Structure 1
Amino acid sequence: MSRPIRLFFSFMLALMLSSQAIASEGGGEAKPSATYVDLKPSFVTNVGEPSQRMSYLKVDVTLRVASSEIAKQVEQQQPAIRNALVFLFSDAKMDEVTTPKGQEALRSEALKAVNEVMKKEEGKPLVENVLFTTFVVQR
């Protein structure tokens, strides 16, 4: 991934976090703030066709949930969530991981996969968003 793209995603994450802080400082109706759950360690997998030169994908994933109570439920399901994401990332194609459009599609699929696990294990989808805080492709 090129440096400008990484900077763009870093800027967008910082903008989202600062806007959340500004919204929570504002007066008016108290709205519960979002809670973030980091999935550690990083996901590292091969991408590309076996007949071609192998490339590697490293992704750090953070899940946004509505409350700390939901965060506890998500943390309890981390092994199942990580399993689903490992399979999703290892099935990714090179054209998906090297373009912003492909990365967004992969992020959307990751959200679906995580919420499928939560629905199966907890009875309902509890994750509001999936954020890729690091996304590196090495060719």
Structure 2
Amino acid sequence: MADKTDAQTAPAKGKSKKLMIILGLPIVLLGTGGGAAVYGMQAGWFSVKPAGTDSNEPRLLPKSEEKRAALKGEGGGHGEEGGASEGGHGKPTPKGEGGDKYASSYYPMEKEFTSNLQDSVHFIQVGIAVSTPYDERVLENIKTHEIAIRSQVLMALGETSEDEVFTAEGKRHIQDRLAKAVNAVLKEKEGFGGVSNVYFTNFIVQ
């Protein structure tokens, strides 16, 4: 009788041991994994920082940080950088609803560009300025690589046709092509473009 009872309880004991092993294994793994993670973070294996906080990458400037032109008010009052005065009393210039979400910084290229038109005896001479919604690092990159940028812009202008220079839509196509040309150089040299638009400060067809 005793043998029969022992035989019946033996499988139950075996099951309980298996259950303890199965339940205990994840706890052990969790403990060792957590310990390894803590050690790894202390040892510098993992870099934990929010996206977009890389110090080597330019950041978007909010509208509140836009550098605005100072206006001369009556009595010789001057607006301060970041908020032009109104009437010389130090009041910020009012801003309307809407508009761009980010600030715009501009950089006019010093020398004008002259290029023959594609399949034409005519040529164009243009002055351009670039704009960026990012911080001053983009403008610094443009100044650093201005020679390479000028070369790329001239090649892009060489693809301009007569049809483009005489219509507003065609000129917008030229602007887009030049912006891509500038960004291509910046990405090649610095790994980041950042130029949003190219504007004409002068445009002559001869």
Q: Is the TM value for this pair above 0.5?
A: yes
The structure 2 residue matched to 1:104, chosen from 139, 151, 172, is: 172
Q: TM-score, normalised by structure 1?
A: 0.71
Q: Within 5 A, what are the aligned runs for 1:9-88?
A: 21=68, 25-26=93-94, 33-49=103-119, 54-65=121-132, 66-88=134-156
Which residue does 1:120 correspond to in 2? Answer: 188
Distance 1:125 1:100 in 2: 26
Q: TM-score, normalised by structure 2?
A: 0.49
Q: CA deviation at 1:21?
A: 4.5
Distance 2:167 2:138 in 1: 32
Extract structure 1 runs of 4+ deviating beyond 4 A: 20-24
Which structure's residues are more often helix, by fraction? 1
Contact 2:130–2:197 (CA under 8 A) maintained in structure 1: yes
Contact 2:117–2:162 (CA under 8 A) maintained in structure 1: yes
Q: CA deviation at 1:124?
A: 1.4
Contact 2:138–2:193 (CA under 8 A) maintained in structure 1: no
Larger radius of gyration: 2
Q: Which amino acid aligns with 1:115?
A: N
Same amino acid, percent of matched pairs: 26
Contact 1:35–1:64 (CA under 8 A) maintained in structure 2: yes
Q: CA deviation at 1:26?
A: 4.1
Which structure's residues are more often strand, by fraction? 1
Which residue does 1:3 correspond to in 2? Answer: none
Q: CA deviation at 1:109?
A: 1.0
**Structure 2 unaligned spans of 5+:** 1-66, 70-81, 84-92, 96-100
Which residue does 2:42 correspond to in 1? Answer: none
- RMSD between aligned alpha carbons? 2.5
